[in-house]
Amino acid sequence: MNRNAHRIVTQAGFVARYTSAVHCEFESHCHPNLTVTTVLSGVLEAEIGSAKLAVNSGQSVFTDRLQTHSARGIDVEFLSVGVSAAVMNAAAAESGLISSGAGIAFRHVVARDKTVYDIARGLAAEMETEEPGREAMLEALVSQLVIVLLRSHLLVRKSPLIELSRAGPVDRRLRRAIEFMHDNYSREIGIGEIAQAAYVSEYHFARLFKRITGVTPHTYLANLRLERARELLITTARPISEIAGMVGYQSQSHFTKAFKAITGLTPRGYREGKCAGSSISGDYVPEVTSGHTVGSRE
């Protein structure tokens, strides 16, 4: 195990991040993907919502979309896979579990599943190699993981309140507001303007948003901006200063400070962790995961 390693692969619908660190820490945050973090060695002390737990080697911790979480570890090695809600819903539909948009959530916070562990090991190995067919192997492993999650670790519930939107499956009561934030995160927007887009009062909107999602509109918007920044850093070759402006930061220094507070890496250090196979283009590809690693290579 390399004591300080950081590798990222992003493809359509998922992001995998491998971390090996002498000391790592995730500050409290959330992200839009269903995420599985498997500890390959060491122990990760995690707080998922109100639950505090120690995740040992061989165990996986499961984080729902927009679920706040934090963690820390010493001499730890882990692999996180974030799968977009759109991909998970499509897989559930193909499996005959649902016919359209549904509410999908994990059944438990932590579990020991040898199949999940073996897939995580396989992903970590593929992320390190430059063998031919690497991209196809990564896609196959993540597809296998999705099926295992649907069979053993996820609850799929059809709900009349869930609608498919440009931002993925959302509660219909918040659809306009969430789509407005996804369309306008690159500029300064206040809660009053977001509430107006949802056709509700500012007071009612703030309470409704927190009750449904578990986070405030401000927290959701801040995480959305950092998610988009991670996407752009990995999937494009745009200058960091340009990316800062594209995600709503007026100065690169402010962006760098906010980015490092969540990921533990500077934007440049995060970009340097990109593995071959992650697409580079002038535009970004949706959905990326998040983390905070202290002591990793920058």
Q: For residues 132 and 60, is the Cβ–Cβ distance under 8 A?
A: no
* pLDDT reported for residue 282: 35
Which helix H or strand E contains 163, and what residues bound it? strand 162-165
> Domain 5-160+263-272 has what CATH class?
mainly beta
pLDDT of residue 289: 31
250 vs 10: CA distance, rounded Å: 27
Provide block-wise average pLDDT over 10 residues at a time, the chain (298 residues): 79 89 84 92 92 95 89 93 87 72 82 98 92 91 95 81 67 88 92 93 92 87 89 92 94 89 82 65 34 33
What region does 246 belong to: left with phi over 0, alpha with psi -120 to 50, or beta? alpha
**pLDDT attached to residue 291:** 34
Q: Give the residue extent of every domain in the chain.
A: 5-160+263-272, 164-253
Query: Helix/strand/coil (H, E, C) string of 222-233?
Result: HHHHHHHHHHHH
pLDDT in tens, 216-267: 998 889 888 998 998 899 889 999 999 999 999 988 999 998 888 777 778 9
- 199 by DSSP, 3-state: which? coil
Most distant CA pair in the chain, distance: 56
pTM, two decimals, is 0.79
Q: Which amino acid is at 82?
A: G
What is the spatial distance between Cα 96 and Cα 243, in angstroms, rounded to a whole number? 40
Query: 164-253: what fold?
Result: Arc Repressor Mutant, subunit A (1.10.10)
